[in-house]
Structure 1
Amino acid sequence: MTANETTDLLLAAKRKKGLSFADLETLLGRDEVWIAALFYGQASASEDEAKTLAKALDLNDALTQALTEYPLKGLGPVVPTDPLIYRFYEIMQVYGMPLKAIIHEKFGDGIMSAIDFTLDVDKVEDPKGDRVKVTMSGKFLPYKKW
């Protein structure tokens, strides 16, 4: 089963049950963004998490097992074509170097971890049009000198 097939089957099962990622957050005790990453093959579940999802979504054994496999992370080497995903790519093209400079000023020479990391997405109502609020929080990892 390919990663895309796994994703398609998981999303279909979620739709069939009428569940949101927020519903699954309550069920698993994991953040909705992490659960979505799991569905898209960017994270791996423990056996217990996979079994809990399997029960809630009526998943077969092969799909349940696929949830526990170590993922191949990332979008690949191409520029994303989905408009929403492309906007994040564009944000990094425009603001990536400024963010890097500010992080270095505040923390020193290092990086923000994408491993020790959380990501939250919130809807902020605004009379001029609702806003998407994305909060990224990653542990700062200084580069070592040797």
Structure 2
Amino acid sequence: MFRQRLSSTPRGARLARNLTLNQLHSWGIPCGSDVSCAAGAIVAELAANAVTHGRVPGRDFELRLAIVTGGVRVEVTDARSGPPYPPAPDAVRPPRPVDEHGRGFVLVDALADRWEVIDREPPGKTVRAEIQLPEWISELISK
């Protein structure tokens, strides 16, 4: 498992994506693969949301990555609890073309095989997403 606390700033969000790509590469998941690109985009969106909507002054957000059976798990935890929560996976609605916001969870929903929002103690929430590994990558990293 990889775990890193990051500042709740745009710089922290960019770093989260870069750390994700580097960690996946170190685990044998090639940069530029579908899994690497999907994980990078998911982390970029979740970290941006943590910085923009989940920020509590003086509190960091946390990135966790893990290889789970047949996939990669991404978790981003922020310190804000209560509304507005991210939508549940079955409640994601595409934004209207004129909307300036609201595309992030459409991307997460499209790229992740599974995702969910989990309350945590102390106050805060974790958004967890999993990406299924293709068989060739599973074989590559199990060697």
TM-score, normalized by length of structure 1? 0.26
Ranked by relative contact order (alpha carbons within 8 Å, sequence separation 6 or more), the top structure is 2
More strand by share: 2
Bigger Rg, which one: 1
More helix by share: 1
